[in-house]
Structure 1
Amino acid sequence: MTATPAPDAPPSTMMTDEEYGALRASAALWAGTSVLITDRRGRVLIQHVDYRTTCLLPGGGVDANEAPARGAARELREELGVTTTVDRGLAIDWVSADSLNAPADMRFPGEILHVYDGGTWDDEQIAAIRLPDSEVTAVEFVEPARLPDLMAPGDARRALSALRARINSGGPALLENGVPIAATVLDRAGALRTARAQHHLSFHVGPAPEQLSVVQVWGWLLGPDGRVLVLLEPDTGAALLPGGGLKLGDPLVTLRREAREEAAAEFGVPLFLGHLRDPGKPYACLRYAAPLTHLGPPSADPATGRTHIRLLATPEQALELFDWGSPAADQLAVVHQARARLGIPRAARQPLTELPDATDLAAL
């Protein structure tokens, strides 16, 4: 019988093929897949199943000699009636044997679970879902912050880590029991663990009608590389753009003051984008775009006593941290028109950049 050296053994140690195979088999893990799918509001598709009380992402075990991506595509056919290619990984999770309350008879050895990106589905794709006769009883799209209430703890951690990895665009996250071994700024801040504020207000180019009271002003502050300044609340992970409430006075004075207090940010000549309003409500919210010209060292916001986490993100990544509904697409289009007028390039999608200190914007 051929002798095979063990990969972790001293050079002088030799093992038979049988011994080596037994050693490796003793450390074998299950293999599984799941698929993260969102709708256009950034809500996550979960499945209600008839064999457990908690919900799941689409997915399941990988069959013998089946590639994980093929297994993920097969599970989508079997569970949702959807045929699609699954070719982008979001996370690989090592699930330890003692992390689940598995029955002893199951002899659960642990699992390597691959999470794939199922993309953002439109209404037509959602309407095409066809559930099987058994196992999957219903599907729904839910706010990411609801996942811990609906899924087992490890499943929820894994889904949120995968969703943050998708937004961050830095490649697949390596997880241990759902927790990244190299946390991104979104992981450290706990982004998406609290419900995103809903702002499904219609967006209108041009000034607000005179009969409406202006109650808020926010700014899309664009860095030289085309990314925008986004703030995260340090205690909740909630995202916001620089700006704030407005009672009286010049909106731009408020925007400059809020940008300075919240983010130690200064900006150049702004462009007015438009306003948002809710039919039947007597108020409006203004939106501007402006070139970001300076970022000083962060300090506590005098209004809250908290120091915001500052990020640079593409406008598209920023929107994934909000729940602005379908009007967000109209606002995004106007942001890019203003960016072009300001002579700022369109940013390529890339990992988010945290700005913990004073920043030389010219180096971006």
Structure 2
Amino acid sequence: MFDGGTLTEDDLAQVRLPEREVTAVRRVEPALLPHQMDPANARRALAALRARINGAGPAILEDGRPLAPTCLDDLQVLRTPRKPQLWPWHTSLPAPVELPVKQAWGWLFTKDGRVLVLIGQDTGSACLPGGTVEPADHGDPERTLHREAWEEARVRISDPLPLGYLHDDADGLPCARARYAARITGWDPPCRDEATRQTYTRLLATPEQAAQLFDWGDEAAAQLAAVHTAREELRLPTPIRQPISELLPPEPTDTPGTP
């Protein structure tokens, strides 16, 4: 199986099918591949997608299963359909007064320029640290991010830098979903998030690798540009593409760990 690049809508419109054998071309959410393909071929396709994101070179499979599984394979990332987040991106904060900020999520950096991504152990679904602005946050999305980063991921962060927001009006109730950037200043061993009843596995990835775990559509490029602008403002290096790895619990010391 080979990586053929990314096809745009214009590319797909130019596809001409042979008169026999192939009857249609369609895009399929990765988690739904087992409904469209032979089970062994679906396993191969998902393993190939994980290998592409991981960026460690070819994956050698046996019956569609990697002989040297990565953390993405162990967590079965992409086994659950991703929630589309195809909202318009605006590189500005605060959001207009008519758009209440419903959620605050963070691009949280380690000192090598990589970011933290959380994977639900029960679902294999990815998310950035963050969540809903609650009454205890007193309408302050930055306070929300500090709280959620600790509750979900057990990480402490610096004062967040505003990146921008997504304008969500899908339910007829327009709102803003704010994005921030911050340094991770310390962390503790993970534990279950009482709000979601999930324990998350904490992964470190480049921003580009992280974005491939989500369904953000064309708006992803503008958000990534804002992420790298914030990374430079935080005086962090351009991250080197490398296999995604887990943020391990800190070694026992008298002081908090620093990534």
TM-score, normalising length from structure 2? 0.92
| Residue 129 (structure 1) aligned with residue 2 (structure 2) | no
Residue in structure 2 matching 1:264, options 143, 151, 154: 154
- Specify which structure has the bigger relative contact order, considering alpha-carbon pairs within 8 angstroms and separated by 6 or more residues: 2
Residues 126-177 of structure 1, C-alpha deviation per residue, up to 9 Å, x if partnerless? 2332211111111111110110111011000010001001001111111110
Q: Which string of whole-angstrom CA distances, capped at 9 and with x for unpartnered residues, describes residues 181-224 of structure 1?
A: 22111111111011001111111122211122211000000111
Kindly indicate whether residue 126 of structure 2 is the aligned counterpart of residue 239 of structure 1.
Answer: yes
Answering whether residue 251 of structure 2 is matched by residue 355 of structure 1, we say no
| Contact 1:216/1:244 (8 A) holds in 2 | yes
Query: Which position in structure 1 is the counterpart of 2:71?
Result: 185
CA positional deviation for 1:123: 3.0
Alignment of 1:1-364 (within 5 A): 115-206=1-92, 207-248=94-135, 249=138, 250-279=140-169, 281-358=173-250, 360-362=257-259
Contact 2:110–2:183 (Cα < 8 Å) also in 1 = yes
User: What is the letter of the counterpart of residue 203 of structure 2?
Assistant: L
- Whichever residue aligns with residue 202 of structure 1, its letter is P
Per-residue deviation at 1:244? 0.5
Give % identity.
54
CA distance in 2: counterparts of 1:203 and 1:337, whole angstroms: 15
**Offset, 1:125:** 2.6
Q: Deviations over 1:262-292 (max 9, x none)?
A: 1111111221011111355321111100111
C-alpha separation in 2, matches of 1:261 and 1:278: 25
2:141 maps to amino acid: P
Higher strand share: 1
Structure 1 position 120, deviation (Å): 1.3
- Contact 2:131/2:145 (8 A) holds in 1: yes
- What are the superposed Cα offsets for residues 266-321 of structure 1, whole Å, 9 maximum, x if unpaired? 11122101111135532111110011111211111121332100000000011100
**Residues in 2 aligned to 1:123 and 1:349: alpha-carbon distance in whole angstroms:** 28
Distance 1:117 1:361 in 2: 37
Contact 1:298/1:356, CA 8 A, preserved across alignment: no
Aligned counterparts of 2:9 and 2:25: Cα–Cα separation in 1:
14
The SS at the match of 1:303 is coil
Greater C-alpha radius of gyration:
1
- In 2: Cα distance, 1:163 partner to 1:225 partner: 25
Structure 1 residue 361 displacement after superposition? 4.1
RMSD across aligned positions (CA): 1.4
Moved more, 348-357 or 194-203: 348-357
Look up the equivalent residue of 1:329 and give its one-letter code.
Answer: A
Q: Structure 2: how far apart are the matches of 1:304 and 1:356? A: 22
2:254 aligned residue? none
- 1:348 and 1:119 mapped to 2: Cα distance? 21
Q: For 1:282 and 1:304, how far apart are their aligned partners in 2?
A: 24
d(CA) in 2 for partners of 1:175, 1:229 = 28
The letter of the residue matching 2:157 is F
What is the TM-score with the length of structure 1 in the denominator? 0.66
Gaps of 5+ in 1: 1-114
State how far apart, in whole Å, the 1-side matches of 2:250 and 2:35 are: 39
> Structure 1: which amino acid aligns with 2:108?
L
* Partner secondary structure for residue 178 of structure 2: strand
Please give the alpha-carbon distance, in whole angstroms, between the structure 1 residues aligned to 2:186 and 2:203: 14
Contact 2:168 2:177 in 1 (8 A): no
Classify the secondary structure of the residue corresponding to 2:26. strand
Correspondence for 1:33: none
